[in-house]
Each structure stands twice: as structure tokens, then as C-alpha cells.
């Protein structure tokens, strides 16, 4: 329960933090909310020699819409999403996601960027960001680069971030009119990681056909999964019961769950089918103004 010894650094700028990362390389870890990293350190599953605490860097705790993009800064916490009127009124899929993560104590500290940077396929935001087609901003010693969410998750607990890079912002394109989304999760008990969960975001054309759709799956593979076949099937079709049923079946086929304490693989695959159908139906309901 006691972490191995480490050196603590508290930079006050991104440049200082990336400089420290470049200097210490694989020996260093960024500390944001600490809600994943500290438990791992206490179990000695992570033993970084240098901890780079970014919490004192000013200006990173924002959630704001500008120029057609919702930006979520590196120090925006889950509780900030929950308390944001902007998120509640315009991005209910993000509120759905935050609300089912852990418990209020964890959510007061855990950051949304940390949820992605940790690379855990059981974490909830990755599927939602896949559905929303987010783009990530990574700052490193050589400057900034943008990473599409579809190229971010490289394997269990592995991401496209280089050893000297910090995830500084999540950028979500503002959904056009006639859009809606939902995130649905089944957990064994409140606060648990998902047995399976599904994010769905849709935009309908004026004639009611599906113009755009994103579907992300949680904890049913080595990485978060984008259900591309289900998405391709839905495009151009009316989202009626039969279409949604077929898409849900395709999403289930795209999942790659493993049997574990949360249930056998077949059960989880069927859960993906059920949750996809429900998330799509709820997304369509929200297009029409439902909550
Ligand atoms: C009891 C409990 C239950 C939980 N249940 C859930 C759950 O149901 N669903 C869920 O999604 N999560 C759950 N979590 C995980 C929690 O949401 C994570 O803490 C959070 O996802 C990680 O964010 P953090 O800011 O705490 O990151 P930290 O713990 O500070 O860091 C996690 C990892 O990401 C890296 N990192 C963090 N921020 C950055 C950054 N900006 N740039 C680069 N690297 C970075 C760190 O170096 C570290 O390797 C749970 C945690 C606990 C303790």
C-alpha cells in the first residue's frame, strides 16, 4: 500500500512539464487526478522514478465551445463536466458518461484527459470520444500535434502519446442541428467498471435519414472499439426499430469480449447488442428533444 520512492516535480507551464518528460523519459509519469496512477503505484504495479504533477499549470481546467469545437482542457475533472450547464444542455452523452464513472469522490479529482491517456479499455470516456469523433492535442518538446481519436488507442494501457508528450486538450466537433447521443453502461454495482457499455451519437438529415453516426464500445476488447460496420450500415437509413436491431447485431459481432469475473464472453457480446439498440434509440429520442 506504500508506493516506491519517487521524485516529485510541480511544473508551472506545459513547456516546463514537457521538458521534464523529455529529460526523464520512460522513468517519468504525468500526475493529473491520480485516480488511476496512485492505486497502481500503491500496488507497485507502477514505479515511476519521477512524478510530474501538472495540477499547478494554470489555464487547463476549461470546458468551452469556440469556433465549432468543444474543447476540454487537461485539468477539467469529471465533476466539472457534471456541473457544466453547457454539457448538460448540449452534450448529454458526455454527462451520461461522467455520471457512471466511479463515485463522486473519484470524479472530483479524475480528469477527462487522464481517462483517455490511461489507455484502459474499461474506462468510459474512450467509447464516447470515438462516437463523437474527437481529436486530441498532444504537446511535446517539439511542439503540438493533433491525433484523431481513432488512432489514439494502441493496445491495453497503450496510447499514441510519445514519452515526452502531454495530452493537453480534447476537441469535439460541435454536433450539427438534429443531433443526439447517449451512453449506456451495465455495471455489477455502482462505481464498478463496465461489464459492457455503448456510446451512440447520431445526426439525422431533414428527411429523417441517418446522416452521421458514431458508435463506441467499452470493455469488450483489448482497446475501446469503434463499431464501424454498424455505423456503415446505418448511414442513409431511417433509424426505425428494424434498422436499429440490425445495427445492434453488427455491433455485437464487432465486439471482442473476454470471459472474466464480470461474465462470459457470449453474455457480454449479447449485452453489446442490447445496449447498442437502447443507446441508438435514446440518441434518436434526444434528437427530438427528449432527455
Ligand atoms: C475506485 C475507482 C473506480 C473507478 N471506476 C471507473 C469507472 O467506472 N470508469 C472509468 O472510466 N474510470 C474509473 N476509474 C478511473 C478514474 O476515472 C481514473 O482516475 C481516470 O480515468 C484517470 O484520470 P486521472 O486524472 O485520475 O489520471 P491519473 O491517475 O493522474 O493518470 C492516469 C495515467 O494517465 C497518464 N496521464 C494522466 N493525465 C495525462 C495527460 N494529461 N497527458 C498525458 N498522460 C496523462 C498518467 O501518467 C497515468 O499513466 C476509477 C477509479 C477508481 C479509483
Q: What tens digit of pLDDT does each residue of 35-53 get?
A: 999 999 999 999 999 999 9
Q: Which three cell numbers stand for residue 68?
A: 465549432
Tens digit of each residue's pLDDT (9 = 90 or more) over 228-252: 999 999 999 999 999 999 999 999 9
3-state secondary structure of 153: strand
The pLDDT value recorded for residue 198 is 98
What is the percent of the chain with per-residue pLDDT over 70, rounded to a whole number?
A: 99
The ligand 1 site (C-beta within 6 Å) comprises 29-37, 39, 74, 101-102, 106, 110-111, 113-115, 117-118, 123-124, 161, 166-167, 191, 193
* Span 65-117, pLDDT tens digits: 999 999 999 999 999 999 999 999 999 999 999 999 999 999 999 999 999 99
CA–CA dist 289, 116 (Å, integer)? 29
pLDDT digits (tens, 9 = 90+) for 2-12: 999 999 999 99
The HSE-up count of residue 47 (CA atoms within 13 Å, CB side) is 7
Cα 217 to averaged position of ligand 1 atoms, centre (Å) = 18
What's the CA gap between 247 and 100, in Å, rounded? 25
Give the residue among 266, 269, 244 at the shortest CA–CA distance from 255. Answer: 269
* Residue of 106, 160, 185 to test ligand 1 pocket, by largest number of atoms within 8 Å of CB: 106
pLDDT at 290 over 70: no
Mean pLDDT, the chain, rounded, equals: 96
| Residue 134: exposure state from Cβ atoms within 10 A (0-12, 13-18, ≥19) | buried
> How many angstroms separate the CA atoms of 290 and 150, rounded?
29
Please tell me the distance from the alpha carbon of residue 69 to that of residue 71, in angstroms, as a whole number.
6
Locus of grid cell 457480454: 268
CA distance 40 to 4: 11
Question: pLDDT at residue 170 above 70?
Answer: yes
Amino acid at each position: 500500500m506504500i508506493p516506491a520512492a519517487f521524485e516529485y516535480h510541480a511544473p508551472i507551464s506545459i513547456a516546463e512539464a514537457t521538458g521534464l518528460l523529455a529529460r526523464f523519459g520512460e522513468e517519468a509519469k504525468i500526475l493529473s487526478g491520480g485516480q488511476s496512477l496512485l492505486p497502481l503505484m500503491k500496488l507497485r504495479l507502477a514505479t515511476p522514478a519521477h512524478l510530474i504533477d501538472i495540477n499547478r499549470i494554470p489555464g487547463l481546467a476549461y470546458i468551452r465551445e469556440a469556433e465549432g469545437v468543444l474543447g476540454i482542457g487537461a485539468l477539467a475533472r469529471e465533476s466539472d463536466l457534471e456541473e457544466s450547464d453547457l454539457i448538460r444542455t448540449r452534450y448529454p452523452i458526455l454527462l451520461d458518461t461522467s455520471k457512471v464513472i466511479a463515485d463522486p469522490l473519484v470524479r472530483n479529482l479524475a480528469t477527462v484527459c487522464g481517462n483517455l491517456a490511461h489507455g484502459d479499455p474499461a474506462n468510459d470516456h474512450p467509447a464516447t470520444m470515438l462516437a463523437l469523433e474527437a481529436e486530441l492535442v498532444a504537446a511535446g518538446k517539439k511542439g503540438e500535434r493533433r491525433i484523431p481519436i481513432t488512432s489514439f488507442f494502441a493496445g491495453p494501457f497503450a496510447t499514441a502519446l510519445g514519452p515526452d508528450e502531454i495530452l493537453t486538450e480534447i476537441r469535439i466537433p460541435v454536433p450539427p442541428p438534429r443531433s443526439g447521443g447517449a451512453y449506456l453502461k451495465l455495471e455489477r454495482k455502482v462505481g464498478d467498471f463496465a461489464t459492457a457499455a455503448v456510446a451512440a451519437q447520431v445526426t439525422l438529415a431533414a428527411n429523417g435519414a441517418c446522416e452521421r453516426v458514431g458508435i463506441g464500445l467499452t470493455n469488450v476488447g483489448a482497446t475501446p472499439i469503434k463499431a464501424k460496420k454498424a455505423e456503415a450500415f446505418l448511414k442513409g437509413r431511417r433509424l426505425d426499430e428494424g434498422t436499429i436491431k440490425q445495427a445492434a447485431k453488427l455491433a455485437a459481432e464487432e465486439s471482442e469480449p473476454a470471459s472474466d469475473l464480470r461474465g462470459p464472453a457470449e453474455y457480454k457480446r449479447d449485452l453489446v447488442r442490447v445496449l447498442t439498440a437502447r443507446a441508438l434509440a435514446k440518441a434518436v429520442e434526444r434528437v427530438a428533444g427528449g432527455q
